[in-house]
Protein backbone atom coordinates (compact mmCIF):
# COMPACT_ATOMS: atom_id res chain seq x y z
CA UNK A 1 0.00 0.00 0.00
CA UNK A 2 1.11 3.55 -0.68
CA UNK A 3 0.13 6.68 1.21
CA UNK A 4 -1.14 9.48 -1.01
CA UNK A 5 -2.37 13.03 -0.53
CA UNK A 6 -4.40 14.53 -3.35
CA UNK A 7 -6.33 17.79 -3.48
CA UNK A 8 -9.69 17.03 -5.07
CA UNK A 9 -12.04 19.89 -5.88
CA UNK A 10 -10.24 22.08 -3.37
CA UNK A 11 -10.24 19.62 -0.47
CA UNK A 12 -7.18 17.64 0.60
CA UNK A 13 -7.73 13.89 0.86
CA UNK A 14 -5.29 11.32 2.21
CA UNK A 15 -5.40 7.59 1.99
CA UNK A 16 -3.67 4.27 1.62
CA UNK A 17 -3.95 2.84 -1.87
CA UNK A 18 -2.81 -0.25 -3.71
CA UNK A 19 -0.46 0.88 -6.49
CA UNK A 20 -2.71 -0.80 -9.05
CA UNK A 21 -5.73 1.30 -8.12
CA UNK A 22 -6.83 3.58 -10.94
CA UNK A 23 -7.48 7.24 -10.16
CA UNK A 24 -11.12 6.95 -11.23
CA UNK A 25 -11.70 4.05 -8.82
CA UNK A 26 -10.00 5.95 -6.00
CA UNK A 27 -12.18 9.01 -6.65
CA UNK A 28 -15.38 6.98 -6.66
CA UNK A 29 -14.74 4.25 -4.12
CA UNK A 30 -12.31 5.75 -1.63
CA UNK A 31 -13.45 9.37 -1.39
CA UNK A 32 -16.99 9.13 -2.77
CA UNK A 33 -16.59 11.57 -5.65
CA UNK A 34 -18.97 9.63 -7.88
CA UNK A 35 -19.60 12.46 -10.34
CA UNK A 36 -16.72 11.04 -12.35
CA UNK A 37 -17.93 7.91 -14.13
CA UNK A 38 -16.26 4.85 -15.59
CA UNK A 39 -17.21 4.50 -19.22
CA UNK A 40 -15.27 2.16 -21.46
CA UNK A 41 -12.36 1.36 -19.16
CA UNK A 42 -10.14 1.18 -22.24
CA UNK A 43 -9.12 4.88 -22.41
CA UNK A 44 -11.22 5.44 -25.52
CA UNK A 45 -14.41 7.13 -24.37
CA UNK A 46 -13.29 9.98 -22.11
CA UNK A 47 -16.30 9.73 -19.76
CA UNK A 48 -13.86 9.62 -16.82
CA UNK A 49 -12.03 12.81 -17.85
CA UNK A 50 -10.86 15.02 -14.97
CA UNK A 51 -8.40 17.88 -14.77
CA UNK A 52 -5.04 16.86 -13.28
CA UNK A 53 -3.07 19.97 -12.35
CA UNK A 54 -5.37 21.87 -14.70
CA UNK A 55 -5.08 19.66 -17.78
CA UNK A 56 -7.59 17.07 -19.00
CA UNK A 57 -6.65 13.43 -18.45
CA UNK A 58 -8.56 10.17 -18.55
CA UNK A 59 -8.73 9.07 -14.93
CA UNK A 60 -9.00 5.41 -15.95
CA UNK A 61 -5.51 5.79 -17.40
CA UNK A 62 -3.78 7.32 -14.40
CA UNK A 63 -2.81 5.38 -11.28
CA UNK A 64 -4.02 6.93 -8.04
CA UNK A 65 -0.42 6.84 -6.77
CA UNK A 66 0.63 8.91 -9.77
CA UNK A 67 -1.79 11.64 -8.67
CA UNK A 68 -0.09 11.99 -5.28
CA UNK A 69 0.69 15.63 -4.59
CA UNK A 70 -1.47 16.78 -7.50
CA UNK A 71 -4.67 18.79 -7.77
CA UNK A 72 -7.67 17.07 -9.34
CA UNK A 73 -10.79 18.86 -10.55
CA UNK A 74 -13.86 16.72 -11.17
CA UNK A 75 -17.26 17.73 -12.48
CA UNK A 76 -18.24 18.22 -8.83
CA UNK A 77 -15.64 20.91 -8.33
CA UNK A 78 -16.41 23.02 -11.34
CA UNK A 79 -19.25 25.18 -10.02
CA UNK A 80 -18.44 28.12 -7.76
CA UNK A 81 -20.90 27.51 -4.94
CA UNK A 82 -24.33 27.82 -6.52
CA UNK A 83 -22.94 29.41 -9.66
CA UNK A 84 -22.36 27.01 -12.47
CA UNK A 85 -19.27 27.14 -14.60
CA UNK A 86 -20.10 28.75 -17.99
CA UNK A 87 -19.53 25.43 -19.72
CA UNK A 88 -22.15 23.82 -17.49
CA UNK A 89 -24.57 26.66 -18.22
CA UNK A 90 -23.94 26.33 -21.94
CA UNK A 91 -24.59 22.57 -21.90
CA UNK A 92 -27.95 23.25 -20.20
CA UNK A 93 -28.92 26.09 -22.53
CA UNK A 94 -27.96 24.26 -25.73
CA UNK A 95 -29.25 20.88 -24.61
CA UNK A 96 -25.74 19.46 -24.85
CA UNK A 97 -26.69 16.18 -23.25
CA UNK A 98 -29.16 13.36 -23.68
CA UNK A 99 -28.54 10.41 -21.34
CA UNK A 100 -25.83 12.45 -19.62
CA UNK A 101 -23.29 9.70 -19.12
CA UNK A 102 -20.57 11.31 -21.22
CA UNK A 103 -21.33 14.77 -19.85
CA UNK A 104 -18.85 15.02 -16.96
CA UNK A 105 -16.02 14.12 -19.32
CA UNK A 106 -17.33 16.30 -22.13
CA UNK A 107 -17.61 19.32 -19.85
CA UNK A 108 -14.10 18.93 -18.43
CA UNK A 109 -12.60 18.30 -21.87
CA UNK A 110 -14.37 21.47 -23.02
CA UNK A 111 -13.05 23.46 -20.05
CA UNK A 112 -9.53 22.34 -20.95
CA UNK A 113 -10.04 23.15 -24.63
CA UNK A 114 -11.33 26.67 -23.86
CA UNK A 115 -8.48 27.33 -21.44
CA UNK A 116 -6.01 26.80 -24.28
CA UNK A 117 -8.14 28.20 -27.10
CA UNK A 118 -10.81 30.67 -25.89
CA UNK A 119 -12.27 31.18 -29.39
CA UNK A 120 -12.25 27.78 -31.11
CA UNK A 121 -13.74 27.22 -34.56
CA UNK A 122 -16.26 24.43 -35.01
CA UNK A 123 -13.60 22.08 -36.35
CA UNK A 124 -11.28 22.96 -33.46
CA UNK A 125 -14.09 22.10 -31.03
CA UNK A 126 -14.70 18.77 -32.76
CA UNK A 127 -11.00 17.93 -32.77
CA UNK A 128 -10.61 19.13 -29.19
CA UNK A 129 -13.33 16.72 -28.08
CA UNK A 130 -12.17 13.81 -30.22
CA UNK A 131 -11.22 11.82 -27.15
CA UNK A 132 -14.77 11.95 -25.76
CA UNK A 133 -17.48 9.71 -27.12
CA UNK A 134 -21.25 10.28 -26.86
CA UNK A 135 -23.13 7.07 -27.56
CA UNK A 136 -26.39 8.99 -27.87
CA UNK A 137 -24.43 10.62 -30.73
CA UNK A 138 -25.56 14.05 -29.63
CA UNK A 139 -22.40 15.69 -30.89
CA UNK A 140 -24.08 18.52 -32.72
CA UNK A 141 -25.54 20.08 -29.58
CA UNK A 142 -22.36 19.39 -27.64
CA UNK A 143 -20.39 21.36 -30.21
CA UNK A 144 -22.96 24.16 -30.04
CA UNK A 145 -22.68 24.11 -26.24
CA UNK A 146 -18.92 24.57 -26.33
CA UNK A 147 -19.22 27.39 -28.86
CA UNK A 148 -21.80 29.06 -26.62
CA UNK A 149 -19.59 28.54 -23.57
CA UNK A 150 -16.80 30.34 -25.42
CA UNK A 151 -19.17 33.27 -25.97
CA UNK A 152 -20.21 33.30 -22.31
CA UNK A 153 -16.64 33.19 -21.10
CA UNK A 154 -15.47 35.96 -23.43
CA UNK A 155 -18.38 38.09 -22.22
CA UNK A 156 -17.19 37.85 -18.63
CA UNK A 157 -17.65 35.65 -15.61
CA UNK A 158 -21.08 36.90 -14.50
CA UNK A 159 -22.72 35.90 -17.78
CA UNK A 160 -22.02 32.29 -16.99
CA UNK A 161 -24.01 32.28 -13.78
CA UNK A 162 -26.99 30.03 -13.40
| Residues within the interface to other proteins (CB under 8 A) | 2, 18-22, 25, 41-44, 46, 49, 52, 55-58, 60-63, 65-66, 68, 109, 112-113, 127-128, 130-132
Q: Would you say 74 or 132 has its CB closer to other proteins? A: 132
CB of 19 to other proteins, least distance (A): 3
CA–CA gap between residue 100 and residue 108 (Å, rounded): 13
Q: Would you say 54 or 157 has its CB closer to other proteins? A: 54
Residues contacting residue 55 through CB under 8 Å, at least 6 positions apart = 112
Q: Would you say 38 or 83 has its CB closer to other proteins? A: 38
DSSP H helical ranges for the chain: 23-25, 86-93, 103-116, 122-128, 139-155
Amino acid sequence: MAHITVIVDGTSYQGEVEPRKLLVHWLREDIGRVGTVVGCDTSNCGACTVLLNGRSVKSCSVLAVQAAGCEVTTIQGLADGNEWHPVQTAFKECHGLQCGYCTPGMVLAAVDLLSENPTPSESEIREGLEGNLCRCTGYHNIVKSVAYAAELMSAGPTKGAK
